[in-house]
Structure 1
């Protein structure tokens, strides 16, 4: 089971200010988004919730069971995020909620025009292709996922900004919200192309390059070799790769190697130096720095968490 990146716990509503014991709601309105903090203090089932805008939700504490249209019900736990299209009804169960064990979830409803402008920016900045398949877009077939370091940090920041009294909070919220949307779209895009590459490594130039990377993560991967496989000069290859994902080839390779390292670290018998070598890192100290940057903790701490889960 992966280590999750939890949100900082928000203060609970004082009992005398509770309007209801199921999905008590606090609202913070900003120019391009509305932050909602929901709390439930008693067991309940089949509670409907609908937003007029696209919504990013993330669990802070407790457990829900989510029912979304056309997908099986699933447990929704802290450290996880769910994205839902506008005007889609979520039906929610609270099987474990109680006065001593409340659930708490944030829901960030985002203006449709703001999302449209952000996606247009991504396509204008990164995507020189007119191929619809290569266009940056939000996808709702990938709707439930564990938070990574960047996403949890951004959501924490948005919650702090939205609930503050700073007169400039619209400016700070705008910066963090734009980055959060970009991270979500970027993560979906990486998952999409990685999955397609595993199924058909030679479908396109991009799939071919990604498939080669995945098959050689344990080895030294020379960028010049990737350039030749893509039939592009070094400068054109870097530009082309960043157009596809918004990150450099080295950042992508390191991210995939860290994913591989997390699987190996789940076995307490694998020592750090061996994992570093198996994942293509020739320098264990560099491996530790990269892992900590992406996961927020060192590989040793990660392995300890896996061996002694809380």
Structure 2
């Protein structure tokens, strides 16, 4: 280990480079940037990301972030410690590789809308689905494997990864809207409050008072700007948190749904399954199996 902050292990291939960062002590305003488009994915712990012109946000296990080349990041590590380091994967993918995947998709996977596939939205923050999680686990193995054909293996996995992320990007709902809200917006403060208090009871009436609006005006404004209702937003954020917590095999389902602010197991199961197409127990079992196989 060279440093307690952002200790880095790197692997380089033909079309991509993978960096695994470990942080073993609390730190603030750690600066980082890459000269190629990068996919950052949290493995363990918590970061607070500060991106240019965007509201700061928590970056948790099970989440990923797509960044453009030369995007300057400022990162806080509020929970890192020697016994429980923060771990994050960052994979820089060549633009030539991305363009070849786009060409493949336009020739073989045309959109129903007749529009062509194009570059993904940058600063796209999303929760990994099971497919993306398993690809990232496989790539972690392949990059470190001493195999004569690993460039070929990695190349195929990269194509699938880019396709899945682009398809996820097409289905995004409120990510861009929350990032683009002005920092002095009344909704920005409400969103920050929601994210910091997911474990508590959150009610539209109380949130509207924080925004200094009537409940009906708050509901309309929220849905107009973000494209979803306040309750849908709260559930989305709670499921993002749950996805990260379920990756800890020591956590019980009950601990997870209570820590995420759900009052009943049945409601948690229903909301989780609508987002992940799996029940929480099935999701946790598959995560354990994926780690064992990788």
TM-score tier by shorter-chain length is 0.5 to 0.7
TM normalised by structure 2 equals 0.60
Partners of 1:149 and 1:296 within 8 A in 2: no
**Superposition deviation, residue 270 in structure 1:** 6.0
Cα RMSD after superposing both structures: 3.2
Give the match for residue 166 of structure 2: 185
The equivalent position to 1:149 in structure 2, one of 130, 149, 163, is 130
Distance 1:179 1:65 in 2: 29
| Residues 8-27 of structure 1: per-residue CA shift (max 9 Å, x gap) | xxxxxxxxxx1111101111
Give the match for residue 56 of structure 1: 39
Give matches, 1:170-209, under 5 Å: 170-191=151-172
**Superposition deviation, residue 295 in structure 1:** 4.4
Q: 1:140 to 1:121 in 2, by over 3 A?
A: same
| Residues 154-174 of structure 1: per-residue CA shift (max 9 Å, x gap) | 110111100111111111111
Distance 2:113 2:44 in 1: 43
Distance 2:19 2:2 in 1: 14
The equivalent position to 2:104 in structure 1, one of 113, 121, 125, is 121
**Superposition deviation, residue 139 in structure 1:** 3.0
Between structure 1 and structure 2, the one with the greater Rg is 1
The aligned length equals 199
Q: 1:166 to 1:127 in 2, by over 3 A?
A: same
3-state secondary structure, aligned to 2:163: helix
Distance 2:42 2:268 in 1: 33
TM normalised by structure 1 equals 0.57
**Superposition deviation, residue 122 in structure 1:** 1.0
1:22 matched to 2:19? The reply is no
1:86 matched to 2:83? The reply is no
| Residues 131-162 of structure 1: per-residue CA shift (max 9 Å, x gap) | 6xx22123336611111100100110111100
Give the match for residue 268 of structure 1: 265
